[in-house]
Amino acid sequence: MKTIPYGKQHISEHDIQAVTSVLRDDFLTQGPKVQEFEQKFASYIGSKYAVAVSNGTAALHLSALALGVHEGSRVITSPITFAASANCIRFCGGNIEFSDIDPNTLCLDVDKVRKKLEAAPKGTYQGIIPVDFAGYAVDMEAFRKLADEYGMWILEDSCHAPGGFFKTQNGSQQNCGNGMFADAAIFSFHPVKHIACGEGGMITTNNQKIYEKLLLLRSHGITKDPNKIKNNKEGWYYEMQELGFNYRIPDILCALGISQLKTAKAKLQKRKLIAERYIRAFKNTSVKVPLANLAEGNAFHLFVIQIENRLDLYNHLKEHNILCQVHYIPIHQLPYYSKLYGSQSFPEAESYYQSCLSLPIFPSLTQDEQEYIIDKITSFYSQKTSK
Ligand X SMILES: Cc1ncc(COP(=O)(O)O)c(C=O)c1O
Interface residues with ligand X (CB under 6 A) are 55-57, 81-82, 84-85, 131, 157, 159-160, 188, 190, 201
Cis peptide before 238 (omega within 30 of 0): no
Would you tell me the crossing angle of helices 310-319 and 367-386 to the nearest 10 degrees?
A: 130
Q: How far is the CB of 20 from ligand X (least distance, A)?
A: 24
Q: Which is nearer to ligand X, 180 or 192 (CB)?
A: 192
Cα–Cα distances in Å, from 35 out to 30, 249, 254, 282?
9, 11, 9, 44
285: enclosing H helix or E strand: none
Q: Minimum Å distance from CB 156 to ligand X? A: 10
Helical pair 32-45 and 251-262, crossing angle rounded to 10 deg: 30
For residue 203, the minimal CB distance to ligand X (Å) is 12
Torsion of CA 292, 176, 156, 122, to 10 degrees: -90
Judging by DSSP bridges, how do beta strands 239-240 and 95-98 pair with one another? unpaired
Residue 188 beta carbon to ligand X: minimum distance, rounded to whole angstroms: 3
* Residue placing its CB nearer to ligand X in the complex, 80 or 117: 80
What's the min distance (Å) between Cβ of 301 and ligand X?
8
Q: How far is the CB of 228 from ligand X (least distance, A)?
A: 29
In the complex, least distance from residue 333 CB atom to ligand X, rounded to whole angstroms: 17
Nearest-CB residue to ligand X? Answer: 56
Q: Which is nearer to ligand X, 82 or 352 (CB)?
A: 82
Q: How far is CA 251 from CA 52, 169, 263, 374, in A?
A: 10, 40, 19, 40
Exposed (0-12), middle (13-18) or buried (19+): which is 320, by Cβ within 10 Å?
middle
Q: How many residues does the chain have?
A: 387
Based on CB atoms, which residue is closest to ligand X, 305 or 331?
Answer: 331
Question: Helix H segments across 46-128?
Answer: 56-66, 84-91, 110-118
Closest to ligand X by CB, 61 vs 213, is 61
Q: Do the beta carbons of residue 318 and residue 376 sit within 8 Å? A: no
Q: Specify the residue, 253 or 374, whose C-beta has the smaller distance to ligand X.
A: 253
CB of 259 to ligand X, least distance (A): 19
* Calpha distance 68→50 (Å, rounded): 19
CA 352, CA 106: separation in Å to the nearest integer?
8
CA-to-CA dists, residue 278 to 134, 284, 368, 372, 375, angstroms: 15, 12, 13, 12, 11
For ligand X, the closer CB: 253 or 281: 253
Q: What is the DSSP letter of 195?
A: S
- Considering beta carbons, is residue 41 or 282 the nearer one to ligand X? 41
CB of 171 to ligand X, least distance (A): 28
Beta carbon nearer to ligand X, 139 or 199: 199
Nearest to 45 by CA among 177, 159, 161: 177
